[in-house]
């Protein structure tokens, strides 16, 4: 796909309001088109004028297959303090036709900025003759990877004719910068040795035809920026535009006595990416499904007492879905799995998903490559040992020194450490006897023969200054891959945390030990004030309005009818000081886990909003502002999924996984229905197939042990078995059909949610009796509802048979 030349002429603005009480505005316009250039260009400043006229022209080289969103930011220049940001206009370049010149007039809403107007003239003539192949892309119909160039720069020092006095001998430092490149800024140092010498070359990776410039600072010179310069003097300031040089050739960039600057441009393999783009399941998971299907088919036949073997198309995909709840969820999940194991239902499951505390159970289980084929008593006993031990030792001086050493090691590796990493190390101490070297990719051994359900761990990616209601993106972790569902972008689990640029692996970091991932998946310390408010109030409308961006559609002249892939022209009004302070106070999180963003350098396809996969997970207020989406961030900011909805169900609702039955094991504190209600509403809003959940008022006040929602009214939706964590018939029965004796009644008293309950989400230590009772309760609630689970499997098999017909 070719590139084109976009010409933008900023003409004038009218009725600009005064940001400073004592003076008129000193306005200028900043232009930013990140898909074309990393630089932000700006007009001259017009002083003391509410109707400024600039009449300045700017040029951008754009790629036609990406979503080009031009930002026109109007500022009031301030000499003493930071410039006042008045407003920003977002304009979709896709509205312009090739070769068309349009005089645009943007009129902001009078309620927003009291009759503000902004007039811009734009033209889009082609540059096909100049750039016939400049638009080379790797496309996934959602994310675009531009062509990558690799620039090598070397400084060679010539032999000096005369030996300089010893006192003048010093190291010479050359500073090189390619803005927008992966490397950013690098330096080359030459020693004082007078003989001919050269330094190792430095390398820059950058997007070709994105107006890249190599800025050079010579020894003893001040840093020079050539962002707006289109000419240079090689002897004084050898700063050059890189697109003007041929690829694959070595050449002299400049001669600055007694050194020579050499440059070579080369193109890496344009079709190779280290990231998997697409919404299909990875090859490894597809292979797992083929192997697991044989185990499941045999198990379902046994459970349902079928006479004939199940055919491939008749075998249901069953998933066990868990919710978080600290040590309570860790313990109760052991009991639930024990019950499923005794009923042979565990062998019927293809997936096991978790978040928060249940990820601790899962990661412990998957250390054993054949855990689901064995008795679970050993794992339950091991967990009991750690749940009942004294935890104060985790804060001993010896442990603190160990934590510091581990955090320093991660920092040396090139990671951005946070309190979440420390929390992961504390968890390691709480749940293990010593250092745990287990990694997520190690769990491949536990699924490579299809012998266990595939574990899926969940988190959400958030953004600073936004609540999770306004911005969150689902992230899934399997032993094979880590990926963002909305973008269809996945990296190998062993590469997660490494540095990527435009889909290429640039710096491989050692894979994190799983304790650090557990800290992220259960990041209690990522809460903010708004989340705490929502826990105690049913509505957040009052405070929520303080945390949202003020973005309005605006009129434009001439009126341009919207095509499906085009975005409305809008204006963003920055919050005032009070609003900003309140917003920061409400949305600032104590800590988040930050990992290198493997989407860095990608760009959104021009039709990304038409992509059905993107629309399925399109649930943030920034989805229509491509310049602010995750591909523009340096780091992913990952938190516990429970800060949005306490569920790990979203990966199971990917159509590619074709899940037929979901066992929803709820371990939430407080309301047992809330997370399910939130999931239903979310799926309804997103158009995701999910069974309708209808509970009577009586059931909402006093839940049963299990509910079956077959989803007959929602064709294509999975069957849902919902298990709230309650103590109902377990009080009187120690096993299904076996009543407790008088001496055993005490064992049936499990205070789950009382004010003095030992099962608080924040409890980290149980007594043996407390631990055992919760395991027994989780097991009993499964065993006592065998009939409903069997009914769900029967229904799933019949539906698959009918579907084939």
**Which residues participate in catalysis according to the annotation?**
356, 640
Task: Say how far residue 740 (Cα) sits from the centre of its chain.
Answer: 50
* Nearest Cα to Cα of residue 772 among 758, 791, 789, 755: 758
Whole-number Cα distances in Å, 728 to 704, 725, 778 = 7, 9, 12
DSSP 202-225: EEEEEETTS--EEEEE-TTPPP--
Longest dimension (CA), the chain: 104
Residues 421 and 428: their CA atoms lie apart, in Å, by: 11
Beta strands, E only, 407-561: 454-461, 473-477, 481-484, 489-492, 499-501, 504-507, 550-553, 555-557
The pair of structure tokens assigned to 601 is 């350098």
Residue 52: strand, helix, or coil = coil
* Residue where the block lists tokens 């009796």: 769
315 contact partners, CB below 8 Å, separation of at least 6: 293, 296, 297, 300, 800
DSSP lists the bridge partners of residue 720 as 662, 709
* Nearest Cα to Cα of residue 285 among 365, 345, 351: 351
Q: Omega into 558 within 30° of 0, i.e. cis?
A: yes
* Nearest Cα to Cα of residue 216 among 200, 204, 208: 204
* Dihedral over Cα of 208, 213, 218, 223: its sign: negative
The pair of structure tokens assigned to 539 is 């509505």
Residue 798's CB is within 10 A of a number of other CB atoms, namely 12
Residues 492 and 287: their CA atoms lie apart, in Å, by: 16
* Nearest Cα to Cα of residue 487 among 497, 500, 495, 476: 476
Residues 416 and 402: their CA atoms lie apart, in Å, by: 18
* Dihedral over Cα of 527, 530, 535, 536: its sign: positive
The pair of structure tokens assigned to 755 is 């004010």
Note whether 223 and 217 are within 8 A (CB). yes
DSSP 134-155: TT-EEE-SSEEEEPEEEEEEEE
DSSP lists the bridge partners of residue 587 as none
* Nearest Cα to Cα of residue 751 among 763, 736, 742: 763
Whole-number Cα distances in Å, 620 to 526, 614, 623, 681 = 19, 11, 6, 15
Note whether 203 and 152 are within 8 A (CB). yes
β-strand pairing of 555-557 with 101-107: antiparallel
Backbone angles phi, psi at 426, to 5 degrees: -65, -40
DSSP 256-289: ETTEEEEEEEE---TT--SSEESSSPPHHHHHHH
- Per-residue burial over 650-681, b if 16 or more Cβ lie within 10 Å, else e, is bbbbbeebebbbbbbbbbbbeebbebbeebbe
* Residue where the block lists tokens 């070359």: 201
Residues 611 and 607: their CA atoms lie apart, in Å, by: 7
């Amino acid at each position: 796909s070719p590139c084109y030349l976009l010409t933008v002429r900023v003409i004038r603005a009218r009725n600009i309001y005064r940001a400073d009480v004592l003076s008129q505005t000193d306005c200028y316009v900043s232009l930013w088109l990140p898909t074309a250039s990393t630089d932000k260009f700006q007009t001259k400043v017009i002083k003391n004028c509410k109707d400024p006229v600039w009449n300045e022209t700017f040029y951008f080289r754009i790629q036609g297959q990406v979503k080009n969103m031009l930002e026109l930011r109007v500022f009031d220049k301030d000499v003493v303090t930071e410039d006042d940001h008045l407003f920003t206009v977002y304009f979709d370049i896709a509205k312009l036709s090739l070769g068309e010149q349009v005089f645009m007039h943007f009129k902001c809403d009078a309620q927003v900025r009291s009759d503000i107007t902004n007039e811009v003239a734009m033209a889009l003539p082609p540059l096909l003759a100049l750039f016939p192949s400049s638009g080379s892309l790797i496309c996934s119909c959602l994310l675009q990877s531009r062509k990558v160039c690799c620039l090598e720069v070397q400084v060679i020092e010539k032999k000096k004719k005369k030996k300089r006095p010893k006192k003048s001998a010093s190291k010479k430092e050359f500073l090189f910068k390619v803005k927008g490149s992966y490397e950013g800024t690098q330096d080359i140092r030459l020693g004082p040795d007078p003989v001919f010498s050269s330094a190792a070359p430095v390398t820059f990776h950058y997007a070709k035809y994105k107006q890249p410039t190599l800025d050079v600072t010579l020894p003893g010179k001040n840093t020079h920026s050539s962002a707006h310069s289109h000419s240079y003097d090689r002897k004084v300031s050898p700063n050059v535009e890189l697109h003007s040089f041929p690829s694959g050739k070595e050449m002299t960039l400049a001669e600055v006595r007694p050194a020579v600057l050499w440059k070579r441009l080369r193109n890496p393999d344009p079709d190779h990416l280290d990231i998997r783009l697409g919404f299909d399941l990875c090859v490894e998971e597809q292979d797992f499904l083929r192997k697991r299907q044989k185990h499941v088919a045999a198990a379902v036949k046994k459970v349902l007492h079928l006479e004939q073997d199940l055919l491939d198309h008749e075998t249901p995909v069953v998933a066990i879905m868990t919710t978080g709840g600290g040590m309570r969820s860790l313990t109760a999940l052991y009991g639930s799995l024990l019950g499923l194991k005794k009923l042979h239902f565990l062998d019927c499951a293809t997936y096991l998903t978790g978040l928060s505390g249940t990820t601790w159970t899962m990661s412990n289980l998957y250390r054993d490559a054949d855990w689901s084929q064995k008795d679970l008593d050993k794992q339950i006993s091991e967990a009991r040992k750690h749940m009942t031990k004294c935890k104060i030792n985790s804060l001993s001086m010896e442990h603190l020194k160990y934590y510091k050493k581990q955090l320093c090691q991660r920092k040396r590796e090139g990671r951005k450490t946070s309190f979440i990493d420390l929390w992961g190390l504390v968890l390691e101490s709480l749940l293990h006897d010593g250092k745990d070297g287990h990694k997520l990719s190690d769990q491949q051994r536990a699924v490579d023969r299809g012998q266990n359900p595939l574990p899926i761990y969940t988190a959400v990616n958030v953004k600073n200054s936004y609540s999770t209601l306004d911005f969150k993106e689902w992230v899934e972790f399997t032993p094979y891959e880590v990926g963002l569902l909305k973008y269809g972008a996945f990296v190998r689990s062993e590469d997660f945390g490494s540095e990527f640029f435009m889909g290429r692996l640039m710096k491989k970091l050692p894979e994190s030990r799983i304790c650090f991932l557990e800290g992220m998946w259960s990041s209690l310390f990522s809460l903010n004030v708004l989340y705490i408010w929502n826990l105690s109030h049913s509505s957040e409308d009052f405070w929520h309005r303080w945390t949202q961006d003020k973005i309005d559609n605006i009129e434009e002249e001439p009126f341009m009818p919207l095509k499906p892939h085009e975005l409305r022209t809008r204006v963003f009004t920055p919050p005032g000081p009070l609003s900003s302070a309140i917003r920061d106070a409400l949305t600032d999180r104590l800590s988040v886990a930050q990992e290198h963003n493997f989407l860095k350098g990608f760009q959104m396809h021009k039709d990304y909003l038409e992509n059905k996969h993107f629309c399925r997970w399109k649930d943030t207020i920034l989805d229509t502002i491509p310049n602010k989406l995750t591909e523009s961030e340096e780091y992913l900011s990952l938190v516990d999924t429970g800060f949005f909805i306490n569920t790990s169900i979203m990966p199971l609702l990917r159509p590619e996984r074709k899940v037929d039955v979901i066992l929803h094991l709820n371990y939430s504190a407080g309301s047992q229905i809330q997370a399910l209600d939130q999931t239903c509403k979310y799926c309804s809003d997103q158009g995701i197939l999910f069974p309708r959940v209808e509970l009577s008022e009586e059931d909402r006040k006093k839940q049963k042990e299990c509910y079956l929602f077959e989803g007959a009214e929602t064709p294509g939706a999975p069957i849902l078995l919902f298990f709230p964590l309650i103590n109902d018939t377990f009080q009187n029965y120690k096993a299904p059909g076996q009543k407790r004796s008088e001496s055993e009644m005490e064992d049936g008293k499990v205070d789950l949610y009382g004010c003095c309950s030992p099962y608080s989400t924040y409890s980290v230590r149980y007594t043996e009796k407390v631990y055992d009772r919760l395991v027994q309760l989780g097991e009993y609630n499964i065993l006592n509802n065998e009939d409903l689970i069997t009914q769900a499997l029967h229904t799933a098999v019949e539906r698959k048979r009918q579907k084939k017909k």
